[in-house]
Amino acid sequence: MSKLNRPRNLVLTGFMGTGKTTVAQFVAAATGLHFVDMDDEIVASMGMSIPQIFAAVGESGFRLQERRTCERLAAGSGQVIATGGGALVNAETLALMEDKGLVICLTAAPEVIESRLGDMEGRPLAPNWAMLLRERQLAYDRIRHQIDTTHKSPQQVAEEVIALWQSFQ
């Protein structure tokens, strides 16, 4: 890839419990990229927690806000962005992030996801996780770059992410 086309942002996506936020923090510390957590951006802009947003405007209202946040972040550069688990399930939103960014989908075995979701607090859709994962599988599968996090530490995953990012710089 020529320098002109190199990706401006590194975007970590994937299902709940695949370690997007933790890995993005490690990547930011090691690379100097600016860490952005998409859910935190939405919480700050709406002045409500994720469960409060779902209660107030429903999932569709949350998705609308998520889409706007994707548009804003995709226009920036030098960021490592941890998306919410459902943010790039929409093909158009994925295309928006892939246009100027390197999008990597983190995956994990279902039993690992279940154990990482713990008490599910703060994640309104987590009780339904197994069905949601099945419904979204094809959407995650269409992302070109995938890293399986099962049995890996966040540091190990971050190293793989950084190696891929550097191969595009």
Shortest distance (Å) from residue 91 CB to ligand S3P: 16
CB-CB neighbours of 36 under 10 Å: 19
Tell me how far CA of residue 81 lies from CA of 72, 104, 160, in angstroms: 12, 10, 16
Shortest distance (Å) from residue 124 CB to ligand S3P: 6
Binding residues for ligand S3P, rule CB under 6 A, total: 11
Shortest distance (Å) from residue 66 CB to ligand S3P: 7
The interface region with ligand S3P, picked from 15-23, 96-104, 140-148, 149-157 by CB under 6 A, is 15-23
Shortest distance (Å) from residue 167 CB to ligand S3P: 26
Token digits of residue 66:
């998520």
Is 19 among the residues that bind ligand S3P (CB under 6 A)? Answer: no
Determine contact, residues 78/33, Cβ cutoff 8 Å.
yes
Read off φ and ψ for residue 103, nearest 5 degrees. -100, 125
Torsion angle in degrees (nearest 10) through CA of 54, 102, 129, 132: 90
Q: What is the footprint of ligand S3P within residues 26-85 (CB under 6 A)? A: 39, 50, 84-85
The CA-based angle 34-144-20, given to 5 degrees, is 40
Binding-site string for ligand S3P from residue 93 to residue 132, where x marks contact by CB under 6 A and - marks none: ------------------------------xxx-------
Contacts of 145 (CB under 8 A, 6+ apart): 102, 103, 104, 105, 164
Shortest distance (Å) from residue 54 CB to ligand S3P: 7
- Residue from 86, 105, 112, 152 that binds ligand S3P (CB under 6 A)? 86
Query: Where along the sequence are the contacts to ligand S3P (CB under 6 A)?
Result: 16, 20-21, 39, 50, 84-86, 123-125
